[in-house]
Amino acid sequence: MNPEKIDQFAQQLLTAVTGAATTAMIVVGDRLGLYRGLAAGPATPAELAARTGTAERYVREWLSQQAAAGFVEYRPQTQRFALSDEVAAVLADPESPVFMAGSATLAHGWFAGIDQLVTAFRTGEGIPWHMQHPAVFEGTERFFRTGYAASLTSDWIPALSGIAENLAGAVIADIGCGHGAASVLLAQAFPEAEVRGFDFHPESIGVARKRAAEAGVSDRVRFEVAGAADYPADGYTLICLLDTLHDLGDPEAALVHARRVLAPNGAVLVVEPHAEDDFAANIANPMAALSYTGSTFQCVPASLSQPGAAALGAQAGPKAVTRLAASAGFSTCRLVSQTPVNGVFELRR
């Protein structure tokens, strides 16, 4: 036993646990609008409580923790707390290109699901998607939306050859659309296309319809409850599987179906979490520990609960996607773009 290494690891553990504690505090601040309230200007606990309709004593404790965590600045001269513009961009503004509060929402959902996951480890059974805590659905929507808003219609679709310029009058399908974040962005970016979102989770389809109405695009985006391998054929020019393929019990059947219902010149866009094929290289990526957690809590159990039970996992890597595309009969599977969060593939018939 090397005492120095014990010290180092104890520090590493404390950093991890403090991160989890701070994550719980982010969820509280996010839900109560405390970050948005503080983004309006420096405040004492009483001022922030008044701005957000909350109780001063609780807000004082929350602000103290956030100052200790380095998220907010404490100004002793005025006894006020302040949020920098940069932190506000990450935590207070859902429309910002760097908004990341959704990652804490996801963590909330994972903690709430620990008991059922522990049971699943013992039985080996899956956990159907609808059994997850609602924070998992909401966290998935909020976490991935930031990347979609930044890249889906401006980078990823233009990277597919001959697709962006042919979407007027075309039909686009969003498979496993969840709360419909991407479908709404597609409808906004391509107003002359018809967008159809499919998901087998009825509650998610209900939320997606609400999101489309709020965004004023209900006239050109329709949501229906349907499975990834049996949604209706419609000569789709673009079929999107966004952070969904690895959640499916039978991802190959979903790609076979996509190939069957795709227009002759159409493309399938598969967006998966960023991963390397080589395991050692993959775990060196700082995002991998987060991704494997999501995979353990949501993706592997979702897939294991469905016929096929392929359980690809969220970190399967480009080779696994390429193999699946080839088995489903696609002639090409090309990695067209990569971000620290996502790998983006184009599949052609």
Q: Name the site residues for ligand SAM (rule: CB under 6 A).
A: 129, 140-141, 144, 176-178, 181-182, 199-201, 204, 227-228, 242-244, 247-248, 302, 306
Contact in structure between 208 and 178 (CB atoms under 8 Å): yes
Locate tokens 């906004």: which residue? Answer: 188
Q: Minimal distance in Å, beta carbon 64 to ligand SAM?
A: 35
| Residue 104 zone, left/alpha/beta (φ > 0; ψ -120 to 50; rest) | alpha
Ramachandran assignment for 132, one of left (phi > 0), alpha (psi -120 to 50 degrees), beta (any other): beta
Residue 276 CB, shortest distance to ligand SAM, in Å, is: 20
Residue whose CB is less far from ligand SAM, 71 or 144: 144
Beta-carbon-side half-sphere exposure of residue 246 (alpha carbons within 13 Å): 26
Nearest distance, CB of residue 302 and ligand SAM, angstroms: 6
Q: At what angle do helices 134-151 and 101-112 cross, to 10 degrees?
A: 150
Cβ-based nearer residue to ligand SAM, 49 or 175: 175
Q: Are 248 and 308 in contact, with CB atoms under 8 Å apart?
A: yes
Q: How far is CA 19 from the centre of its chain?
A: 20
d(CA 35, CA 25): 11
Nearest distance from residue 106's CB to ligand SAM, in Å? 10
* Closer residue to ligand SAM in complex, CB, 63/255: 255
Write phi, then psi, for 241 (nearest 5 degrees): -120, 95
CB of 42 to ligand SAM, least distance (A): 35
Q: Using alpha carbons, list the distances in angstroms from residue 40 to 31, 51, 76, 92, 93.
A: 16, 9, 19, 10, 12
Measured from the CB of residue 185, what is the shortest distance to ligand SAM in angstroms?
Answer: 11
Residue 141 C-beta: closest distance to ligand SAM, Å: 5
Q: CB-wise, 17 or 98, nearer to ligand SAM?
A: 98
72 vs 228, which CB is nearer to ligand SAM? 228
Nearer to ligand SAM, 49 or 228 (CB): 228
Residue 162 is classified by DSSP as T
CB of 109 to ligand SAM, least distance (A): 11
270 forms bridges with which residues in the sheet? 241, 345
- C-beta closer to ligand SAM: residue 83 or 240: 240
Nearer to ligand SAM, 43 or 229 (CB): 229
Question: Do the Cβ atoms of 342 and 317 come closer than 8 Å?
Answer: no
Given a contact cutoff of 8 angstroms between Cβ atoms, the answer to whether 274 and 287 are in contact is yes
